[in-house]
Amino acid sequence: MFLEIKDLSVKIENKKILNELNLNINKGEVHAIMGPNGSGKSTLANVLAGKEDYEIINGKINFKDNDLFDLNIEERAQEGMFLAFQYPVEIPGVNITPFLHSAINSKKKRMNEAEIDNLSFAKLLKSKASDLGISIDMLKRSVNTGFSGGEKKRYEILQMSILNPDLAILDETDSGLDIDALKIVTDGVNKLKTKDNSFLIITHYQKLLDYIQPDHVHIMVNGSIVKSGGSEIAAEIEKDGFQKFQ
Amino acid sequence: MNIQDNYLKNKKNIFFSQNKDVQNHREKLIDIFENDRFDKKNNESLKNINLKNFIDFKYKYLIPEETSVINNNQENSYSIVSVNGQCSSYKDDKIEITRILDEDYNDFSKNHTIEKNDHFVNLNSLFLNSGFKIVIKKNNNIKIKISNIITDDHLTIFQKNNYICEEGSSLNLIEEYENKNNSTSNILNVIKLDKNSQLNHFLIQDNSPNHNLIITSHSSCRKDSTYTQKVYNFSEGYVRNFHYSELIEANSEADLQGIFFLKDNNTSNNKTFVKHLAEDCKSNQVYKGILNDRSKATYFSNTHVDQVAQKTEGYQLSKGILLSDNASFFSKPELKIYADDVKCSHGSTIGPIDENAIFYLRSRGMSKIAATKILISSFINEELSSIDNEQMSEIIQKKLVRYLSKVK
Ligand SMILES: Nc1ncnc2c1ncn2[C@@H]1O[C@H](COP(=O)(O)OP(=O)(O)OP(=O)(O)O)[C@@H](O)[C@H]1O
Ligand SMILES: [Mg+2]
């Protein structure tokens, strides 16, 4: 199994957010999670990425034959986990080039691969940016600082395509994108997709799933997966909402 | 030993002790010390300080054997090595360097902007044993680099310097303070900018743990002149930077910036004070601090806008990053405005490094320590990238890397 989440319960500030959650993802699969606001989707994404504010009260997560809880935040990333944030944080004064360059090289180091030099990295960054319709000017700016909502989301996908993760978690990457941007971003995802990597896509809209075909769709309510199936579930939600699961 | 005995014992070594006016002034100062007439309430110069250590000191001064002024004609640049606060005389058609005179002393003692309750300033006047005066002549564009060297352990340097920028002149002044010998330097700079002149003043401070550096400066700007001061404090010993600026004629500008990098048990006290006394003047006071371990800092910033100073723009900002729970940074901005047509603002943000930013960077594969370092660098990125002197910016970068290497 590639990612195996077993009976995961998580608390924050004495409030239980995830409740005996189970989810399995195999290599090469695309999974989608839909669920009402506040059901715990971002919490799950953050717990996977290693955010430290949460109290894990029960459960196990296995990722690529590692106990995920044995890995710290950066080790998870270096092992191939990537989270495209719902709300990417603005970091004034930090430019994407040195930061992402150092990030990709720490991953290479862990994998015992050769590091990328400055020039090759600059080239790589430029070409990926142009694929995603991101201007050179934007690459010169500080990470996410003063970016529009849509620009931030594209920037997340740019980082994803550079780091080339084994498991990419996209937390509402489609929210805030105009229709053209949605096309560009989903093209980016589809280009990256191989039989060796997996995606976990959190979304509120069936539209996204028209562009990226999921193998499995899950409904999350009150911190648990209450129903799983194929794309037809997304259509059902679009039509009837979450009422009957609550 | 009490102050009076200390003074009398070393009098022969102290500048101007034969001058009547100076004597009168000093008698008053001694009275303040002896009878403890300091106003201790709200006295910014007393924060984080064990005053006794500085008043009860062992006076020691050595007259330097050799100092140097090197003129590099082509680039209009000069290198000065000031030894124990002294500098040899020099004169050409662009600049003139002399030792400080008693008339400069008396001129200073009549200045009312510098806090009279400041014991460091008073000690400086009382025990004055060194100092020089540099005049930049009309319409010249000059670069000066001063290395401030102290030759022996446990010296007590009391130094007054005068800088005079004549009309239309421009001075780029870099001062280096890098001393390793457990001495105390108490320096007072009096800076005068005539019409349409400019002074870019950089101070790089990097002393060892038992070296104390106390700098107080006073600048006054005439019409269309600009005084810019940038202080980079990497010292492992105590540093005090207090700077007073007076904008006395229209369309002049004062820009006071500082960055300090503290660690271990170190302390730094900082103050900037800008007095707007004429219309259409601008001022900026920006201090940033990075504090690790159990280090402590204070920063007081003040803008005073006189009622004639219409169309004033005054801006104050202080920012601090606390890298440890045991570090502390006390900041107090103050604005006193007596004119109605002014634009003034102040702000202060001090706190630990942004955990969300750390999480974001780590989630891309960057180690926690690398993320912390990149965020510290970004905190001062604006100030560092605005240094338009390549040599300076290299020096600062190197010291920053050294500071960051100790961040765990
Ligand atoms: N730091 C926190 N302190 C207290 N409660 C929190 C904290 N973080 C999240 N929560 C709560 O946890 C619940 C789940 O939040 P989460 O962000 O995971 O929801 P979500 O499913 O992603 O919602 P949305 O669709 O609106 O993005 C919410 O009720 C939220 O208020
Ligand atoms: Mg969410």
- pLDDT for A82-93, tens place per residue? 999 999 999 999
Nearest-CB residue to B382 (from A52, A93, A103): A93
Kindly determine whether residue A72 and residue B375, on different chains, have CB atoms separated by under 8 Å. no
Given a contact cutoff of 8 angstroms between Cβ atoms, the answer to whether B133 and B101 are in contact is: yes
Q: Give the mean pLDDT of A52-73.
A: 95
Res B197: pLDDT: 98
Distance, CA of B190 to CA of B162 (rounded, Å):
5
Q: CA dihedral in degrees (A66, A68, A69, A71; nearest 10)? A: 80
Question: Over 80: is that where the pLDDT of A126 sits?
Answer: yes
Least confident of A86-90, B66-70, B260-264: B66-70
Res A239: pLDDT: 85
Question: Over 90: is that where the pLDDT of B68 sits?
Answer: no
Distance, CA of B54 to CA of B126 (rounded, Å):
13
Which residues lie below 8 Å from residue B255, measured CB to CB, with a gap of 6+?
A: B226, B227, B228, B229, B283, B284
Q: Which of B232, B406, B255 is nearest to B324 (CA)?
A: B406
Distance, CA of B303 to CA of B173 (rounded, Å):
25
Domain boundaries of chain A, sorted by first residue: 3-245
Given a contact cutoff of 8 angstroms between Cβ atoms, the answer to whether B338 and B306 are in contact is: yes
The CATH class, in words, for A3-245 is: alpha beta
Distance, CA of B369 to CA of B362 (rounded, Å):
9
Nearest-CB residue to B357 (from A78, A89, A104): A89
Phi and psi at residue B278, in whole multiples of 5°?
A: -150, 165
Predicted confidence band of residue B115 (pLDDT cuts 50, 70, 90): low
Predicted confidence band of residue A236 (pLDDT cuts 50, 70, 90): confident
Res B36: pLDDT: 79
In a mutational test of the pocket of ligand 1, which residue from A9, A43, A246 has the highest number of ligand atoms less than 8 Å from its CB? A43
In a mutational test of the pocket of ligand 1, which residue from A9, A10, A14, A15 has the highest number of ligand atoms less than 8 Å from its CB? A15
Question: Over 90: is that where the pLDDT of A243 sits?
Answer: no
H/E stretch holding B333 reads strand B328-337
Res B41: pLDDT: 74
Can you say whether the dihedral through the CA atoms of A44, A45, A49, A51 is positive or negative? Answer: negative
Closest ligand 1 atom to residue A53 Cα is: 1
pLDDT in tens, A142-194: 999 999 998 999 999 999 999 999 999 999 999 888 888 898 889 888 999 99
Given a contact cutoff of 8 angstroms between Cβ atoms, the answer to whether B304 and B275 are in contact is: yes
Question: Over 90: is that where the pLDDT of B112 sits?
Answer: no
Whose Cα sits closest to atom 17 in ligand 1? A42
Q: CA dihedral in degrees (B319, B273, B392, B380; nearest 10)? A: 10
Beta bridge partners of B192: B164, B220
Question: Over 90: is that where the pLDDT of B113 sits?
Answer: no
Q: Rounded to whole angstroms, what are the CA distances from A93 to A76, A88, A172, B383?
A: 26, 15, 26, 11
The two counts, helices (H) then strands (E), for chain A are: 9, 12
Say whether residue B354 is in contact with chain A using an 8 A CB cutoff. yes
Res B402: pLDDT: 96
| Cβ neighbours of B278 (radius 10 Å) | 21
Say whether residue B362 is in contact with chain A using an 8 A CB cutoff. yes
Predicted confidence band of residue B37 (pLDDT cuts 50, 70, 90): confident
pLDDT in tens, B196-241: 999 999 999 999 999 999 999 999 999 999 999 999 999 999 999 9
Kindly determine whether residue B361 and residue A91, on different chains, have CB atoms separated by under 8 Å. yes
Q: How many residues does chain B have?
A: 408
Q: Minimal Cα distance from A159: which residue of B?
A: B364
ipTM computed for the complex: 0.96
Q: What residues flank ligand 1, with Cβ below 6 Å? A: A 12-13, 15, 17, 35, 37-43, 53, 86
Res B73: pLDDT: 67
Q: What is the DSSP letter of A5?
A: E
Can you say whether the dihedral through the CA atoms of B94, B98, B101, B105 is positive or negative? Answer: positive
Say whether residue B386 is in contact with chain A using an 8 A CB cutoff. no
Q: Give the mean pLDDT of B373-378.
A: 95
Least confident of B65-69, B111-115, B310-314: B111-115
H/E stretch holding B20 reads helix B20-34
Question: Over 90: is that where the pLDDT of B312 sits?
Answer: yes
